[in-house]
Structure 1
Amino acid sequence: MTALLEAGLAVSLGGPLLLVLVTRRFALNQLSLASRMLLWLLAAAAFVLAARSGEAWPLRIGMTTFGWLDLLSTVVAIIAMLAGAIAWPQLMTKLGVKGSMGSDLQKKIYSLSAPYRLFLVTTAAVTEEMLYRGYAIGIGQEVWGSLTVAFVVSLLVFVGAHVTHGAKALVTVFWISLLMSLLFAMTNSLWACIVAHFAVDAFGILLVPWLMARQRAHGARRSPGEAGARPDLAINAPTSVPPSGSPPAPH
């Protein structure tokens, strides 16, 4: 049984990392349907291996009842994640830290259709939480005999799997992963982590582009004469470059 659980850990932790390495090595499209379906396959494999670990497997991976305290913890975690996603990049800029914020990747995501972006958000929320929190922490603490070890390993591997976002963005990724792992450790709820992950990614990948599109449309409707007459009211339409405070895109 232990060998089976260890195999699941190899899938949940090594699978996404291998996928990132392969896509980078061969310059593949990491946002393609094929790569996203591979994440679903990895999550399904981890799910099956967890189900074969015994009768208590739903509790091990956090598939428990989602109560009011879990909901409250989830809301607090979402607020903290979004606050950090906005504050950390600004702080690093003020400190003079240089590095990519993964804007190229985010611009590619922003150019995709809204339904496909919704698919990306859903995929990241469900598969990554199943792999990194549900299995890596839930099952990992049983295999390694330590919640702390499982927590740290999951955190570091999650950050490593998002290395394509750029060095500067990894601080935000670390912050979000830390809070997500704490949320799982405190609630033992996979559902809480999925909801929180979906909300944070939806903010940066669905809501922000929608608001930018509305602002561009509003700016386009204004006549040059009107904008010139009232420069204080003129609105500069944003470019396709994502705001620095947007949460990092899914890898």
Structure 2
Amino acid sequence: MPSTTGDTRAESHRGLSAVVVIGLSVSLFGAPLLGRLDVPRWVDASVTRSFLANSLASWLLVAVLLVIVVYWEQRRLTSIGLRVPSRREAAVGIGAGLGGVVLGLIAIGVAVATLQLEQPETLSAINRLSLPVQITIVATAVITEEILWRGYPIERLTELTGNIWIGATVSGVVFLAVHYPAWGLVGAIPQAVFTLVIVGVYVWSRNVVACMCTHGVINTLTILVLPALL
């Protein structure tokens, strides 16, 4: 396993505190809570504006979380895995993304053939958007989701429990549960594969940017490239 900065590895075991509870709430449950407000529907926004509003909400959650880390916890961003990856970490992240896409396509192919599933409406809606909007949505997900559902919760839950697999499992399960309503079973199957791959990259590297590389490859191929070729 590659070496990381001391801020990521050498933190002493910390107890549960109000700031950690709030940080975990923002990272794990902030997006679904904001989603329940359904602000775009209140203002009768178009599909494009609805997707962009959701992207903006994700960036706001990340901003709040980073403020919590830096100004309330008074810790470095490396404490949530935010650091420049080594070449090896970046290469593994990209390779894992390619492998994840292959495994995900196999899984969804088997599921569609056996369960007669149809493409999720969310993916169809994204495919109807303009390319700049699609790129914005994909880039937002790649960056914000790794900070919200990987870096912060895995590191803080690891500190609380002393076991990184507990943090990895909790973050992965919550991530899939949050995305299930929008993607359904046909989306949940490949997403479960993708999540296992991304979480695996984080457990190995403890580097959010390496996970962004993995996530970026997966989202670019499955959302932007493959639908355009089919």
Superposed pair shares fold, TM > 0.5:
yes
Query: 8 Å contact 1:17–1:160 — kept in the other structure?
Result: no
Q: Name the residue aligned to 2:59.
A: 40
Query: 8 Å contact 1:77–1:179 — kept in the other structure?
Result: yes
SS, match of residue 63 in structure 1 = coil
- TM superposition shift of 1:126: 0.7
- TM superposition shift of 1:193: 0.9
Q: Name the residue aligned to 1:166.
A: 184
- TM superposition shift of 1:141: 1.5
TM-score by length of 2: 0.81
Distance 1:132 1:177 in 2: 10
Equivalent residue letter for 1:156: V
Matches within 5 A, 1:1-251: 2-23=17-38, 31-51=50-70, 52-55=72-75, 57-94=76-113, 96-102=114-120, 104-163=121-180, 164-212=182-230
Residue deviations 1:12-69, cap 9 Å, x none? 0111222344449x798594322211111111111111223234x3222112231122
Structure with the higher fraction of residues in helix conformation: 2
- TM superposition shift of 1:152: 1.0
Distance 1:44 1:148 in 2: 26
Distance 2:90 2:55 in 1: 28
Structure 2 runs not aligned, ≥5 long: 1-15
TM-score by length of 1: 0.75
Report sequence identity in percent: 24
Indicate the RMSD between aligned Cα atoms, in angstroms. 2.3
